[in-house]
């Protein structure tokens, strides 16, 4: 069983739409949770950390449900520039063992 | 400019010919990692280092070696590359005390390796 599972998509949405991505993780001892963004053939970049209380950064909202071992990312008012692959990431152990989901592909259409 | 650099960016080699991919960071981060990214499998951690002379295996360490003799450098060594090591490799660094988020990883630009 994979440590982190994501729906690969692709998600094709019109500009202005709201889109949600989900991710599940298998190890209940996982410590930290993140969403990264990766543009084609480029390095991943941190989008936001995910906290137990939920957190928001502009149009992006992340939620963590430890009981269900579930992480979500909500993007409101999608922009063309949001087109990318979104990676769900969890850390375990000393906090430096990272497990990545395979990513969810998003294309925002004009 | 704060960054992680990798060299080379592209490499085509043949089976069995030893190679080293260098990674360097200028942010004084204590943590560094190597990943490989393959279609359908995502990024998988090969090795990580928590500080100088402290390294540990990640998810897929077979066929790789690393060393951490200096804080800023974390080279990845393939002693005898094989075609199944053809992949996109990323180096990353992080620190519990820096970045806008706790334990944020900063990635290098990637090294695309082809082993014939």
The answer to whether A79 contacts chain B (CB < 8 Å) is no
Chosen from B40, B42, B92, B97 to mutate, greatest number of chain A CBs within 10 A: B42
Residue B104 pLDDT greater than 90, yes or no: no
| Interface contact A32-B102, CB threshold 8 A | yes
- Bridge partners of B6? B23
Q: Are A65 and A53 a contacting pair, CB within 8 Å?
A: no
pLDDT single digits (tens) A44-100: 999 999 988 889 999 999 999 999 999 999 999 999 999 999 999 998 876 678 999
Return d(Cα B43, Cα B53) in angstroms, integer.
Answer: 24
Chain B residues lying within 8 Å of A94, measured CB to CB: 50
- Min Cα distance B24 → chain A (Å) is 15
Tokens of B94: 């992080």
Return the ∠ at Cα A47 (arms to A2 and B114), rounded to 5°: 60
Which B residues 90-109 touch A at CB under 8 Å? 90, 94, 96, 99-105, 107-109
The answer to whether B63 contacts chain A (CB < 8 Å) is no
Chain B residues lying within 8 Å of A43, measured CB to CB: 90, 107-110
pLDDT single digits (tens) B1-42: 889 999 999 999 999 999 999 999 999 999 999 999 999 899
How far from the centroid of its chain's Cα atoms is residue A81's Cα? 16
Q: Alpha helices of chain B — where are they, by DSSP H? A: none
Q: Which of B44, B96, B101 has the CB atom closest to A49's CB atom?
A: B101
The answer to whether B33 contacts chain A (CB < 8 Å) is yes
pLDDT single digits (tens) B39-82: 989 999 999 999 999 999 999 999 999 999 999 999 999 999 99
Peptide bond into A10 cis (omega under 30): yes
């Amino acid at each position: 069983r994979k440590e982190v599972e994501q729906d690969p998509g692709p998600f094709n949405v019109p500009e202005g739409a709201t889109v949600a991505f989900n991710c599940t993780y298998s190890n209940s001892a996982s410590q930290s949770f993140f969403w990264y963004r990766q543009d084609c053939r480029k390095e991943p970049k941190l989008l936001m950390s995910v906290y137990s209380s939920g957190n928001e950064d502009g149009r992006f909202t992340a939620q963590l449900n430890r009981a269900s071992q579930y992480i979500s990312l909500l993007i409101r008012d999608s922009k063309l520039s949001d087109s990318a692959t979104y990676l769900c990431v969890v850390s375990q152990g000393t906090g430096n063992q990272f497990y990545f989901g395979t990513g969810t592909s998003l294309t925002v259409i004009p | 400019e704060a960054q992680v650099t990798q060299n080379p960016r592209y490499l085509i080699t043949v089976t069995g010919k030893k190679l080293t991919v260098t990674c360097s960071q200028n942010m004084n981060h204590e943590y560094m990692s190597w990943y490989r990214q393959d279609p359908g499998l995502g990024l998988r951690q090969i090795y990580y280092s928590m500080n100088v002379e402290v390294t540990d295996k990640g998810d897929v360490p077979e066929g790789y070696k690393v060393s951490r003799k200096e804080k800023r450098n974390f080279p990845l060594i393939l002693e005898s590359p094989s075609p199944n090591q053809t992949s996109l490799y990323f180096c990353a660094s992080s620190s519990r005390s820096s970045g806008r988020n706790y334990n944020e990883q900063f990635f290098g630009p990637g090294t695309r390796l082809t082993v014939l």
